[in-house]
């Protein structure tokens, strides 16, 4: 059984701290599917970006790490440019139950400002980072502008509302959207298949 | 077969001195400082005692808890020597740090308890201090969280060096504390204890589970050289270095490649390249079954066998309609030749290897039936007859037959121009191959001779057997000598001369593997008069510093392989 008490406390703490640059919203109805938002760190190619992170909590959370993945497309050596998978030690074997969603999201923010090309998730990006840093910076900035602006995150909410208008619950709609990686039509198909 | 059996035999040999084989001393030939391989069998129920002994050693010298001793030993792969070596060079604190041990030597100041309640850093609840624990590193969490954490870690197979919950702390949890925390779940507790116990085998560079299937539960510990082929009490002989079946004189690498080769279809592919052509229409491989070069695929497409191109269906002696291909394609032909040659070569070695393996199986059956017959005879007759010469011969035959089989695998790789291409010139390779094949042939001849003699054994037993007995003993000794020579050639001249590649093989049983039963401290000295050399041998071995009587027993049957009493002084000398 997932420790609801702890998650609620964590969410409260994140809500209270407005200055951290990270927020978390509930996606599903059981506190195990959440959406995190990370502001791009200043003085980097990701500045001004508003990155959406899918979060899934296992039953054994916090004794196992949360599953996190960028829903926004990110051009970064430690993030898969194809599916947003993240290579970060604390999300794997270095996880400690004393860490929280907030600290994990802050670590993601830190990862954005200091890439680790020696331990890459995306080899192509890592090679570009090492050999042609100027192009890397340009691409990262372009991806940030195109795929990680706040308005896009807002359209996500609109998609949820649109799906909800079709008669699905908001929770179901956002879970489906998350599963479909933001593809509204695919999400609709998922919802219809579940009916 | 036990110790006295072996000795019976060596005495037999001595009494048959006039045969002339035995008197050739092997001494002087062998002094190459090869480190000796000694191995012990650890029974399933002995593992805990053996582990305990290592723990006690460390606890005694370091003055630490069992938990710390275990963590340290796990870190150093259960090598007390390495551990104490590091301890001698650095101090205790550094050693602890290396193995991520936190000692409780420094009391956590807050423990004196000014506050009654502590905020648990995991569930964020305030809990009474007495319901919290820490693992010596100062990270305090409530017992509920600890308990859940430990259970999740144990379920995920991280019982060993179970990490503290603190962020990037990594300290290993104290095992007694962990036991208390998970005491409510017997299954998890059992799993935890079992994992710690098995660490002695699994984290230990010098110990390996016996690879028998189904698993006999035993483990083997070696000392010194890991390239050896111990025999478990369950009867399985295996290569300690790679855990596969005993395969010397092949190296582990050769054996691995051979097994893959026999299993995968790379040879099938080679055969296809050499003997078939793909149909230009449907692509199926087509084998030519007649003389004419106009070939018809089952899909009714006709094509030219020489070039593989589609043609019309009619033909004369000199041409195929709508087609002509006289141009010489050197490259393609060479590839086909090469493939054909490779298949032939592989088949040569494979059939011989397989034949010897089959013979070995058949001989094993003869051996069983002979043994039964001997047992029956020994029970029935009042005459005290000794048939150890026959069982020794069969033991030797079994071993030699396997070596012979594996020697073909060895030859396949050694002289195949693939594995050692950079190091051995073609000329040298040809010389090597000749040398090797001479030895191999001699061994093969003698093995077949003994095999024939031994097969006669059961019928002749109890009747006129003296002649046979002498022949068998002769042949057995001969084989032993030939095996020694073959191994010497391989170890010194063939693999030993390599500079860049490394080829280790398990040494020949008679040469380096200690006759296990000899080192047992509780060994009853053979009733038969032992030579002076043997006496010294015994004294030396029982005085082995680390032979650890608690470990119990040397096991296995080395039997006649070391039926060369003359070698023993040398061996005991290098054991010191």
pLDDT in tens, A115-143: 988 888 888 899 899 999 999 999 999 99
DSSP string, B435-487: HHHHHHHHHHHHHHHHHHHHHHHHHHTTSS-HHHHHHHHHHHHHHHHHHHHHH
- Which residues of B are marked as active site? 292
Q: Tell me which residue range forms the domain holding B424.
A: 338-505
| Residue numbers in A near B168 (CB within 8 A) | 94, 96
Do B389 and B433 lie in one domain? The reply is: yes
- Are A60 and B152 in contact (CB < 8 Å)? yes
In whole angstroms, give the CA distance from residue B292 to residue B314.
Answer: 12
Q: Closest partner residue to A99 among B123, B141, B167, by Cβ?
A: B167
Q: Supply the ipTM of this predicted assembly.
A: 0.82
A114 plus A189 within the same structural domain = no
- Least Cα separation, residue A96 to chain B (angstroms): 5
Q: b/e string for B393-420 if b means 16 or more Cβ within 10 A?
A: bbbbbbbbbbbbbbbbbbbbbbbbeebb
Q: How far is Cα B368 from Cα B374, in angstroms, rounded to an integer?
A: 10
Among B148, B176, B201, where does a domain finish?
B201
> A97 and B149: CB-CB below 8 Å?
yes
Chain B residue with Cα closest to A1 = B148
Q: Please indicate whether, in this complex, the C-beta atoms of A96 and B148 are within 8 angstroms of each other.
A: no
Burial code (b: 16+ CB inside 10 Å, e: under 16) for B152-161 equals: bbbeeeebbb
For residues B104-129, give the mean pLDDT: 69
In 3D, which of A189, A184, A183, A177 has the Cα closest to residue A35?
Answer: A177
Of A6, A9, A97, the CB nearest to B165: A97
β strands within B124-260, DSSP E: 126-128, 132-133, 141-142, 207-209, 219-224
- Chain A contact present for B166, CB below 8 A: yes
Comparison of pLDDT for B304 and B572, the residue scoring more = B304
Task: Note whether A105 and A25 are same-domain residues.
Answer: yes
Q: Are both B550 and B447 inside the same structural domain?
A: no
Q: A27-36, B520-529, B540-549 — which one is most confidently predicted on average?
A: A27-36
Would you say B238 and B245 are in contact if contact means Cβ atoms under 8 Å apart?
yes
Establish if B139 touches chain A: CB-CB under 8 angstroms.
yes
The phi and psi torsions of B224 (rounded to 5 degrees) equal: 80, -120
- Model confidence at B495, in pLDDT bands (50, 70, 90)? confident
Q: Which two tokens stand for residue A25?
A: 């919203």
CA–CA distances in Å: residue B31 to residues B35, B508, B511, B512, B531:
11, 15, 11, 11, 21
Nearest CA in chain B to A99: B167
For residue A119, the domain's CATH number is 3.10.110.10
Residue in the structure block whose two tokens are 């925390």: B181
Q: How far is B205 from chain A (nearest CA, A)?
A: 25
Coil, helix or strand at residue A9: helix
Number of domains in chain A: 2
Instruction: List the end-to-end C-alpha distance of chain A, in Å, as a whole number.
Output: 27
Pair (B398, B482) in one structural domain: yes
Token look-up 């205790």 returns B92
Mean pLDDT along residues A57-64: 90
Spacing of C-alpha A94 from chain mean position: 19
pLDDT over threshold 50, residue B297: yes
DSSP helix/strand/coil, B277: strand
Instruction: Please check whether residues B79 and B133 belong to one and the same domain.
Output: yes
Residues 6 or more apart whose CB falls under 8 angstroms from that of B79 comprise: B204, B205, B206
Q: Does B511 lie in the same domain as B501?
A: no
CB contact under 8 A, A6 and B122: yes
Does residue B301 lie in a domain region?
A: no
Judged against a pLDDT cut of 80, whether residue B247 lies above it is answered with yes
Same domain, B370 and B242: no
pLDDT at B288 over 80: no
A96 and B123 in contact by Cβ < 8 A?
Answer: no
pLDDT for B293: 74
Average pLDDT, integer, range B512-534: 32
What pLDDT score was predicted for residue B511? Answer: 34
Instruction: Give me the mean pLDDT over the A55-74 stretch.
Output: 91
Residues A112 and A158 reside in one and the same domain:
no
Residue B94: pLDDT above 60? yes
Q: What span, in angstroms and rounded, lies between the C-alpha atoms of B333 and A162?
A: 69
CA distance B73 to chain A (A): 23
Contacts of A102 in chain B (CB under 8 A): none
Strands B126-128 and B132-133, bridge-based pairing: unpaired
Q: Kindly report which listed range (A42-56, A166-180, B297-311, B423-437) carries the lowest average pLDDT score.
A: B297-311
- Residue A3: helix, strand or coil by DSSP? coil
Tell me, yes or no, whether A72 and A167 share the same domain.
Answer: no
| Average pLDDT value for residue range B149-168 | 89
d(CA A19, CA B112): 37
| B295-311: average pLDDT | 78
B562 pLDDT band, cuts 50/70/90, is: very low
- Angle (nearest 5°) at CA B184 between B201 and A8: 105
- Taking contacts as CB-CB distances below 8 angstroms, the residues of chain B near A99 are 167
Assess B119–A contact: CB distance below 8 Å, yes or no: no
Domain boundary among B167, B201, B235: B201
β-partners of residue B278 are: B285
**pLDDT class of A98 with cuts at 50, 70, 90:** very high
Pair (B101, B33) in one structural domain: no
pLDDT tens-digit readout, B202-212: 888 889 999 98
Give the pLDDT of residue B114: 53
> Of the residues A45, A68, A87, A187, which is catalytic?
A87
Average pLDDT value for residue range A105-119: 90
Q: Check residues A78 and B496 and name the one with the higher pLDDT.
A: A78
Q: Please say if the pLDDT value at position B131 is more than 60.
A: yes
Same domain, B350 and B486: yes
- Partners of B141 on chain A (C-beta within 8 Å) are 97-98
Write out the two tokens for B159.
């019982």
**Interacting residues of B133 by C-beta distance below 8 A, sequence separation 6+:** B140, B141, B143, B146, B177, B181
Q: Is A91 a residue of the active site?
A: no
Domain co-membership, A144 together with A158: no
Give me the residue label for tokens 């050999």.
A131
Q: Are residues A137 and A169 in the same domain?
A: no
Q: How far is B163 from chain A (nearest CA, A)?
A: 9
Nearest to B78 by CA among B193, B248, B207: B207
The 3-state DSSP class for residue B302 equals strand
Decide if B141 contacts A26 (C-beta within 8 A). no
Whether chain A has a CB inside 8 Å of the CB on B161: the answer is no
Judgement on whether residues A105 and A59 belong to the same structural domain of the protein: yes
Least confident of A128-132, B105-109, B441-445: B105-109
The terminus-to-terminus CA distance of chain B in angstroms comes to 28
E-only strand ranges, B55-147: 117-119, 126-128, 132-133, 141-142
Same domain (yes/no): B435, B515: no
Taking phi first (over 0 means left), then psi (-120 to 50 degrees means alpha), and beta for anything else, what does residue B228 get?
beta
Eight-class DSSP state of B493: I
Q: What is the mean pLDDT of residues B310-336?
A: 66
Instruction: Give the Cβ contact number of residue A93 at 10 Å.
Output: 9
Q: What is the predicted pLDDT for the residue at B224?
A: 77
* pLDDT surpasses 80 at B129: yes
* pLDDT of B18 strictly over 90: no
Confidence (pLDDT) at A187: 86
Across the interface, whether the CB atoms of B141 and A60 are under 8 A apart is answered no
| CATH number, domain containing residue B409 | 1.20.120.1750
Is B268 a member of any domain? Answer: no
Last residue of a domain, one of A129, A148, A167: A148
Strands (E) across B53-140 are located at 117-119, 126-128, 132-133
Number of A–B residue contacts, CB under 8 Å: 35
CA distance B168 to chain A (A): 6
- Residues 66-95 of chain B whose Cβ lies under 8 A from any Cβ of chain A: none
Tokens of A47: 């500045």
Q: Does the structure show a pLDDT above 70 at B20?
A: no
Q: Which of A72, A104, A64 is nearest to A88 (CA)?
A: A104
B54 found inside a domain: yes
Inform me whether the pLDDT recorded for B560 exceeds 50: no
Q: Distance (Å, rounded) from C-alpha B37 to C-alpha B223?
A: 6
Give the nearest chain A residue to B139 (CA atoms).
A98
Residue scoring higher pLDDT (B400 or B381) = B400
Q: A149: how many CB neighbours lie within 10 A of its CB?
A: 15
Q: Worst-scoring range by mean pLDDT, B137-141, B223-227, B351-355?
A: B223-227
The whole-angstrom distance between residue B480's C-alpha and the CA centroid of its chain comes to 21
Q: How confident is the model at residue A89 (pLDDT cuts 50, 70, 90)?
A: confident
Q: Are residues A140 and A179 in the same domain?
A: no
User: CA nearest A51: which of A68, A66, A67, A36?
Assistant: A36
Copy the structure tokens of residue B469.
């007995």
B165 at the A interface (CB within 8 A)? yes
Q: Model-level pTM? A: 0.67
Q: Identify the residue with better confidence: B36 or B443.
A: B443
Q: Which residues of B touch A64 (CB under 8 A)?
A: 152
Q: Distance, in angstroms, between B418 CA and closest chain A CA?
A: 34
Q: Is the same domain home to A173 and A97?
A: no
Q: In whole angstroms, what is the distance from residue B495 CA to residue B86 CA?
A: 34
Please report the sign of the dihedral spanned by the C-alpha atoms of residue B419, residue B420, residue B426, residue B427: negative
- Do B410 and B559 reside in the same domain of the chain? no
Identify the domain boundary among B201, B232, B260: B201
Q: Are A19 and A10 in contact (CB under 8 A)?
A: no
Percent of chain B with pLDDT over 70: 71
Residue B143 is predicted with a pLDDT of 92
Q: Which of A5, A63, A99 is nearest residue B149 as measured by Cβ atoms?
A: A63
| Structural domain boundaries, residue A17 | 4-148
How many of the other CB atoms lie within 10 Å of CB of A143? 19
Question: Which residues 95-154 of A have a C-beta within 8 angstroms of B?
Answer: 96-99
Could you tell me if A83 and A23 lie in one domain? yes
Q: Distance, in angstroms, between B112 CA and closest chain A CA? A: 23
pLDDT tens for residues A151-194?
A: 777 777 778 888 888 888 878 888 888 788 778 888 888 888 88
Looking at the partner chain, which of A10, A64, A98 has a beta carbon nearest the beta carbon of B152?
Answer: A64
Residues of A in contact with B125 (CB under 8 A): 5
| B37: enclosing H helix or E strand | strand B37-42
Note whether B518 and B475 are same-domain residues: no
Instruction: Compute the distance between CA of residue B484 and CA of residue B366 in angstroms, rounded to an integer.
Output: 25
Please give the tally of structural domains in chain B. Answer: 3
**Average pLDDT in chain B:** 74
What pLDDT does residue A171 have? Answer: 81
Nearest alpha carbon to residue B184 among B220, B160, B148: B148
Does one domain contain both B125 and B183?
yes
Are residues A127 and A62 located together in one domain of the fold? yes
Residues 6+ apart with CB under 8 A from B319: none
Position A46 scores a pLDDT of 92
């Amino acid at each position: 059984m997932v420790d609801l008490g702890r998650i609620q406390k964590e969410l409260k703490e994140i809500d209270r701290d407005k200055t951290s640059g990270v927020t978390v919203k509930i996606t599903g109805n059981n506190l195990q599917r959440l959406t995190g938002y990370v502001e791009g760190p200043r003085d980097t190619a990701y500045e001004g970006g508003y990155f959406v992170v899918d979060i899934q909590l296992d039953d054994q959370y916090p004794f196992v790490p949360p599953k996190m993945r960028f829903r926004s497309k990110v051009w970064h050596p430690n993030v898969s440019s194809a599916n947003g998978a993240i290579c970060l030690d604390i999300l794997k074997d270095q996880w400690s139950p004393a860490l929280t969603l907030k600290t994990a999201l802050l670590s993601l923010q830190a990862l954005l400002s200091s890439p680790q090309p020696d331990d890459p998730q995306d080899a192509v990006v890592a090679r570009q980072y090492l050999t042609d840093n100027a192009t890397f910076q340009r691409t990262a900035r372009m991806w940030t502008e195109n795929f990680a602006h706040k308005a896009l995150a807002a359209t996500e909410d609109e998609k949820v509302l649109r799906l909800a208008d079709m008669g699905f619950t908001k929770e179901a709609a956002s879970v489906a959207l998350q599963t479909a990686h933001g593809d509204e039509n695919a999400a609709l198909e998922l919802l219809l298949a579940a009916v | 077969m036990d110790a006295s059996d072996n000795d019976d035999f060596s005495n037999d040999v001595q009494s048959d001195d006039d045969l002339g084989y035995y008197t050739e001393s092997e001494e002087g030939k062998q002094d190459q400082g090869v480190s000796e391989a000694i191995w012990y069998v650890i029974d399933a129920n002995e593992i805990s005692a053996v582990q305990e002994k290592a723990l006690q050693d460390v606890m005694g010298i370091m003055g630490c808890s069992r938990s710390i001793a275990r963590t340290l030993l796990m870190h150093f792969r259960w090598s007390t020597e390495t551990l104490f070596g590091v301890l001698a060079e650095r101090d205790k604190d550094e050693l602890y740090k290396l193995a991520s041990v936190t000692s409780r030597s420094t009391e956590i100041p807050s423990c004196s308890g000014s506050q009654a309640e502590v905020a648990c850093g995991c569930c964020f609840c305030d809990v009474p201090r007495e319901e919290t624990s820490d693992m010596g590193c100062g990270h305090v969490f409530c017992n509920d969280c600890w308990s859940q954490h430990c259970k999740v870690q144990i379920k995920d197979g991280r019982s060993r060096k179970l990490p503290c919950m603190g962020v990037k702390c990594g300290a290993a949890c104290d095992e007694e504390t962990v036991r208390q925390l998970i005491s409510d779940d017997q299954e998890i507790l059992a799993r935890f204890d079992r994992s710690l116990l098995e660490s002695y085998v699994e984290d230990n560079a010098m110990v390996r589970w016996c690879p028998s299937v189904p698993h006999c539960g035993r483990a083997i510990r070696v000392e010194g050289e890991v390239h050896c082929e111990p025999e478990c009490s369950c009867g399985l002989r295996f290569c300690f270095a790679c855990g596969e079946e005993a395969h010397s004189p092949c190296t582990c690498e050769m054996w691995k490649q051979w097994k893959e080769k026999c299993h995968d279809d790379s040879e099938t592919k080679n055969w296809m390249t050499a003997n078939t052509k793909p149909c230009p229409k449907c692509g199926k491989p087509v084998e030519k079954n007649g003389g004419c070069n106009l070939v018809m695929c089952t899909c009714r497409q006709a094509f030219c066998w020489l070039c593989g191109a589609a043609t019309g269906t009619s033909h004369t002696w000199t041409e195929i309609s709508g087609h002509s291909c006289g141009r010489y394609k050197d490259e393609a032909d060479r590839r086909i030749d090469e493939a054909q040659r490779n298949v032939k070569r592989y088949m040569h070695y494979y059939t011989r290897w397989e034949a010897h393996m089959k013979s070995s199986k058949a001989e094993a059956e003869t051996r069983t039936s002979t043994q039964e017959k001997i047992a029956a005879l020994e029970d029935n007759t009042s005459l005290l007859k000794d048939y150890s010469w026959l069982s020794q011969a069969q033991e030797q035959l079994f071993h030699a037959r396997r070596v012979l089989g594996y020697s073909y695998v060895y030859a396949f790789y050694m002289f195949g121009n693939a594995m050692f291409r950079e190091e051995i010139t073609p000329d040298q390779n040809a010389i090597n191959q000749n040398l090797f094949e001479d030895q191999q042939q001699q061994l093969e001849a003698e093995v077949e001779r003994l095999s024939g003699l031994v097969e006669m054994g059961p019928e002749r037993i109890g009747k006129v057997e003296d002649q046979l007995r002498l022949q068998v003993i002769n042949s057995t000794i001969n084989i032993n000598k030939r095996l020694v020579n073959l191994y010497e050639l391989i170890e010194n001249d063939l693999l030993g001369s390599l500079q860049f590649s490394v080829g280790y093989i398990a040494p020949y049983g008679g040469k380096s593997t200690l006759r296990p039963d000899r080192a047992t401290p509780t060994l009853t000295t053979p009733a038969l008069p032992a030579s002076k050399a043997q006496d010294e041998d015994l004294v030396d071995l029982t005085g082995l510093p680390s032979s650890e009587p608690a470990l119990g027993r040397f096991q296995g049957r080395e039997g006649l392989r070391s039926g060369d009493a003359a070698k023993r002084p040398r061996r005991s000398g290098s054991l010191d």
